[in-house]
Structure 1
Amino acid sequence: MNKYTEQFKLTAIKAYLVGSKGLRTVAQRFDIDVSLLRRWVSSYKLHGSISPRKRGQPYSASFKRNVVEYKRTHHLSLRQVAAHFGLGQSSQVGIWEQQYYSGDLESPTIAKRRKSVVMTKKPKPAVPEDKDDALKPREQLMA
């Protein structure tokens, strides 16, 4: 679920593009992070919209490889490449880059979740009913 609506994002982007104020001023006015506004503006300039790709869409290994090779050949930052390809998270490009150089790009990257283990309560140790030490035998007292 998105934290910000499409209308809010468009309003913030247009306030930056139309106005003469900088990114920081517009971000403060809308109470958002500067890097978030920068990412929205970059994506909007490239694609004319905010989110060209659907959320939760799986990416093929060839697409990931193309993204990493595009970054390398054009000497772009993670943020620029993510904006160019319409990716939501620029950090995802960094993960793909690590996988590309380690040779793990072909293998599936989804980690299997472990089942939660239900912990049972341990029984309390049996407490002797005799609480008076005078009634206990000498061996039991020594132990």
Structure 2
Amino acid sequence: MAKYSYELKKKIVEEYLNGKASHKILAKKYQIGESQIERWVNNYKHFGDEGLMRSRNKREYSVAFKLEAITRYETSECSYQQLALELGLTNPSIIANWRRQY
């Protein structure tokens, strides 16, 4: 998985939020997936600059938290992205990983 600098993420998010370009145009311009850009924008809106920074510390979650996240996903109609934002997670794929584990 490619890793992008905070500076690049911030630049792309600002271009989008300032109305300079759509997700689609930015994806083509920077050769980055449209959904990745959308995720950065959502993370920035919910978490500010921290939503764009790569965490240096691996967070540990309790089994109870993981099971609660899985249950909420399976009993609601929300996406991984929506649920991740509700739970304060910047990476929605972690919920999919937990579903595979449990």
Q: TM-score range by the shorter chain?
A: 0.7 to 0.9
Once superposed, which parts of structure 1, at least 4 consecutive aligned residues long, lie more than 6 Å away? Answer: none
**Other-structure match for 1:97:** 99
Superposition deviation, residue 31 in structure 1: 2.2
What secondary structure, in the 3-state scheme, does the structure 2 residue paired with 1:27 have? Answer: helix
Q: Which has the higher helix share?
A: 2
**Other-structure match for 2:40:** 40
**Other-structure match for 2:3:** 3
Higher RCO (C-alpha under 8 Å, 6+ residues apart): 2
TM-score, normalisation: structure 2: 0.74
Higher mean C-alpha displacement, 27-36 vs 51-60: 51-60
- Residue by residue over 1:95-125, the C-alpha shift from the partner in whole angstroms, topping out at 9 and shown as x without a partner, is 32344xxxx4xxxxxxxxxxxxxxxxxxxxx
Aligned-residue Cα RMSD (Å) equals 2.5
The answer as to 2:80 corresponding to 1:78 is: yes
- Residue by residue over 1:30-77, the C-alpha shift from the partner in whole angstroms, topping out at 9 and shown as x without a partner, is 221111101111111122232478352222112212322343455211
5+ residue gaps, structure 2, are: none
What secondary structure, in the 3-state scheme, does the structure 1 residue paired with 2:61 have? Answer: coil
**Other-structure match for 2:22:** 22
Number of aligned residues: 98
TM-score, normalisation: structure 1: 0.56
5+ residue gaps, structure 1, are: 105-143
Q: Is the 8 A contact 1:27 1:37 kept in 2?
A: yes
Letter in 2 for 1:86: L
Q: Is the 8 A contact 2:16 2:22 kept in 1?
A: yes
